[in-house]
C-alpha cells in the first residue's frame, strides 16, 4: 500500500497542471464599476479544440472518506476543465505528472481551500471530483462538442490518501 | 421618485434576459463519476462574437445600501456575461426589457438567492453587480477580444430600490 503526501494548493505548485482560480493579490486586479467592485482578471485559460464550445454546469459531489483509495485517473484531451467551489469548503485535487501510464509516484495531491478553484489544462490526468465533509456544489466550465473527450486508466498499485486532521 | 418592485429570481421570470444558473430539479441532470457526483448540465449559453474568447474572473463587490438609487445601466453587445455567487449570499439583479433608451418602467429587479447565478445574454441592459450585506465574491464568465463591448446610459428619472426585510 502506498500512502500519498498531501500538500497545500498554491499557484506555483499547480502551474504544471493548469491554473489556480483565486482572488489573490498575486494576480492582476483593478477596480471597476465606479470603484464598488474589484476585478481579479482572466484567471484561467479556457482551451477548447476547434468546433467545440464552453459548457457551464454544476457538479454536486458526495463527500469521500479518509483514508480514500485512488484507483483510477482520467483526462480530457479536447479541452480544459475548471472547478470552482460554491460552498466554501475544502476539497482534494489529485493530478499526475505523467502523460502515459500513471503510477503512484506520479501523483500529486493538493488540499484546496474553499476559496480556490482549479482549471485542469487539456490532457492533464486528474482524479474526478473529491468533495470532503458533506455534499458540496462546484461550478464547472468544460467542453461541449463532437468526439470522445475522456480517457481513463486504472492505477497499478494500491494507493491511498490519508487526510491530515483539519480544523 | 420611482420605487421599483423587487421579485424573487426564477428561471421563467429571467428567461427574457438570459439564463438562471442553478442546480435545480427542473434542469437536466444525471449521475457521473460512478454515482458519486450529480451533474446539472449545460446551464448557460456562453455567446461570444467571432474572434473573441471566454474570460474567467472573480469580482469582489462592495455591499450596496438599501434604499439604493439606480442611476445607470450597461450592456455588452459582443458577449454574454455570467455571475455566480461564491459566498452563498443574496444579491440584486436589475435588467431592462427595453433595447433602446431605458426608463424606470422598463426595469425588472430580482432578489437572487446565494445559490443562484445569472447569465446575461449579449446586449441585455443590466445594472453592474449589486452585492448585499457584506463584501462578496462572484465568479464571472465574460468575453475577451477586440472592440468596444460596453455601452452605458443614464436613467432619466430618480429610481430607487428598497429591499424588503430579510431573515
Is A56 in contact with B88 (Cβ distance < 8 A)? no
Question: Which pLDDT score is estimated for A151?
Answer: 96
Angstrom distance (rounded) from CA A55 to CA A101: 29
**pLDDT > 90 fraction of chain B, expressed in percent and rounded:** 95
- What single DSSP character describes residue A165? P
Each domain of chain B, given as residue ranges in start order, spans 2-161
pLDDT at A165 over 90: no
Location of C-alpha cell 446586449: B123
What is d(CA A4, CA A92) in angstroms, rounded to the nearest whole number? 12
Decide if A132 contacts A63 (C-beta within 8 A).
yes
A135 grid coordinates? 455534499
Per the CB < 8 Å rule, is B56 touching A44?
A: yes
Residue A117: C-alpha distances to residues B18, B19, B24, B73, B138 (Å): 25, 23, 22, 31, 12
What average pLDDT does this structure show over B141-158?
A: 96
In tens, the pLDDT along A38-88 reads 999 999 999 999 999 999 999 999 999 999 999 999 999 999 999 999 999
| Fold of domain B2-161 | Jelly Rolls (2.60.120)
Whether the per-residue pLDDT at B98 is higher than 90: the answer is: no
pLDDT of residue A99: 78
DSSP B78-132: TB-EEEEESS---EEEEEES-SSS--GGGEEEEEE-TT-EEEEPTT--B---EE-
pLDDT of residue A1: 87
A chain contacts of residue B57, beta-carbon cutoff 8 Å: 39-43
Q: Looking at residue A167, what is its pLDDT?
A: 67
State the average pLDDT over residues B111-121: 98
ipTM of this predicted complex? 0.97
Task: Pick from B54, B58, B62 the residue to mutate for testing the A interface (most A CBs within 10 Å).
Answer: B58
A141-159: burial string, b at 16+ Cβ within 10 Å, e else: bbbbeeeebeeeeebeeeb
Cα–Cα dist B68/B90, whole Å: 15
Taking the CB of residue A60, how many other CB atoms lie within 10 A of it? 20
d(CA B55, CA A41): 8
Whether residues A40 and B53 touch (CB distance < 8 A) is answered with no
A23 contact residues in B (CB cutoff 8 A): 58, 60, 137
Nearest to B42 among A43, A60, A144 (CB): A144
Q: Do A141 and B141 touch (CB under 8 A)?
A: yes
Least CB-CB distance to A54: which of B38, B46, B64?
Answer: B46
Query: What pLDDT score was predicted for residue B90?
Result: 97
Does A33 sit within 8 Å of B54, measured CB to CB?
no
**Which residues does chain B have within 8 Å of residue A86's beta carbon, measured at their own beta carbons?**
84-86, 88, 115
Q: What is the pTM of this model?
A: 0.97
Do A56 and B119 count as a contact with CB atoms less than 8 A apart?
Answer: yes
If you compute the radius of gyration of chain A from its CA atoms, what whole number of angstroms results?
16
User: Residues B20-77: pLDDT tens digits?
Assistant: 999 999 999 999 999 999 999 999 999 999 999 999 999 999 999 999 999 999 999 9
- Band of residue B140 on the pLDDT scale cut at 50, 70, 90: very high
Comparing B11 with B164, which gets the higher pLDDT?
A: B11
Burial class of residue B28 in the structure, from the number of CB atoms within 10 Å of its CB (0-12 exposed, 13-18 middle, 19+ buried) = exposed
Q: How many CB pairs under 8 A join A and B?
A: 128
Query: Per-residue pLDDT averaged across B100-128, rounded?
Result: 97
Distance of alpha carbon B81 from alpha carbon B45, whole angstroms: 10
Q: What is the pLDDT of residue B54?
A: 98
As a whole number, mean pLDDT of residues A99-127 equals 96
Amino acid at each position: 500500500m502506498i500512502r500519498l503526501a498531501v500538500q497545500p494548493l498554491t499557484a506555483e505548485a499547480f502551474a504544471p497542471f493548469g491554473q489556480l482560480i483565486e482572488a489573490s493579490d498575486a494576480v492582476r486586479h483593478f477596480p471597476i464599476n465606479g470603484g464598488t467592485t474589484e476585478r481579479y482578471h482572466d484567471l484561467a485559460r479556457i482551451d477548447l479544440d476547434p468546433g467545440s464550445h464552453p459548457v457551464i454546469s454544476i457538479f454536486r459531489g458526495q463527500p469521500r472518506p479518509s483514508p480514500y483509495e485512488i484507483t483510477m485517473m482520467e483526462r480530457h484531451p479536447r479541452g480544459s476543465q475548471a472547478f470552482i467551489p460554491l460552498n466554501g469548503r475544502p476539497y482534494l485535487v489529485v493530478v499526475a505528472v505523467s502523460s502515459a501510464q500513471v503510477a503512484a509516484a506520479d501523483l500529486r495531491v493538493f488540499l484546496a481551500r474553499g476559496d480556490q478553484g482549479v482549471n485542469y489544462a487539456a490532457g492533464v490526468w486528474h482524479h474526478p471530483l473529491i468533495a470532503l465533509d458533506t455534499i458540496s456544489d462546484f461550478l464547472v466550465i468544460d467542453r461541449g462538442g463532437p468526439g470522445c473527450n475522456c480517457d481513463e486508466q486504472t492505477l497499478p498499485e494500491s494507493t491511498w490518501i490519508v487526510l491530515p486532521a483539519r480544523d
